[in-house]
Amino acid sequence: MVWTDELLAGFLDYAAIKAPDLHLMAYRGTRRGETCGLLDAEVRLRKAEIGIINQIAVHGDGRLHHKKPKSEAGNRDVILDPDTVALFTSYKAQRAKWQLAAGPAWPDTGMFFVRRNGQAWHPSSVSQRFRRLVQRGGFPPIRLHDLRHGAATIALEAGVDIKVVSEQLGHSTTTLTRDTYQSVAKELHHEAAGAVAERIKAKRRNAA
């Protein structure tokens, strides 16, 4: 299940300031582990891009470990829109205030998204925070991972080429993207077929 554009916009208006990491997942479709593992050094706001080269995974016993993304395609640059750059700039300023208040107790995790105490986010905690925000805001319940599906669906419906969407998501092939979002892709093909037919019919009427 994915939210409509209106529901997603409402959620982000409600939660984005509190959760810039969720904004990234909703806009660019990054995975939970990739988002938690985003390195501070890989956030290049002047270039409006981030580098995904690390993710935080959870062992069966709950311990965390860092590893590379799921596939070679998972190592990628993700381009940011101006709104995301502005939000991340504000977040960095807020994070600097937290660090100043913490003083020497501030840990050097190397992570971009951190808690108020500077500690890295545990992926499970991010999911829990998302569920709380959804519940408190009165939004229809969806999984955190559905933000990724929503980002892909919106991109495809906006007419973004499937190869671009595939690279954005870190899929190894466009086939995987097509298989995952087959219903969306098929609907777009129907719309494209109709648009072509209407264009040809208009030309034929004009010729007549």
Domains of the chain as residue ranges with CATH: 5-207 (1.10.443.10)
Report, as an integer, the average pLDDT of 71-91.
Answer: 90
According to the model, what pLDDT value does residue 65 have? Answer: 82
User: Dmax of the chain from CA atoms?
Assistant: 80
According to the model, what pLDDT value does residue 189 have? Answer: 57
User: What is the Cα–Cα distance from 34 to 67, expressed in whole angstroms?
Assistant: 10
Residue type, 23: H
According to the model, what pLDDT value does residue 34 have? Answer: 95
User: 202 to each of 95, 119, 189, 191, 198, how far by Cα in Å?
Assistant: 57, 61, 20, 16, 6
pLDDT tens digits, residue range 15-62? 877 799 999 999 999 999 999 999 999 999 999 999 999 999 887 777
The residue to which tokens 């840990």 are assigned: 107
Candidate from 96-110, 126-140, 143-157, 185-199 with smallest mean pLDDT: 185-199
pLDDT band at 67 (very low <50, low <70, confident <90, very high): confident
Task: Check pLDDT > 90 for residue 179.
Answer: no
b/e 56-89 (16+ beta carbons within 10 angstroms → b): beeeeeeebeeeebbeeebebebebeeebbebbe
pLDDT band at 126 (very low <50, low <70, confident <90, very high): very high
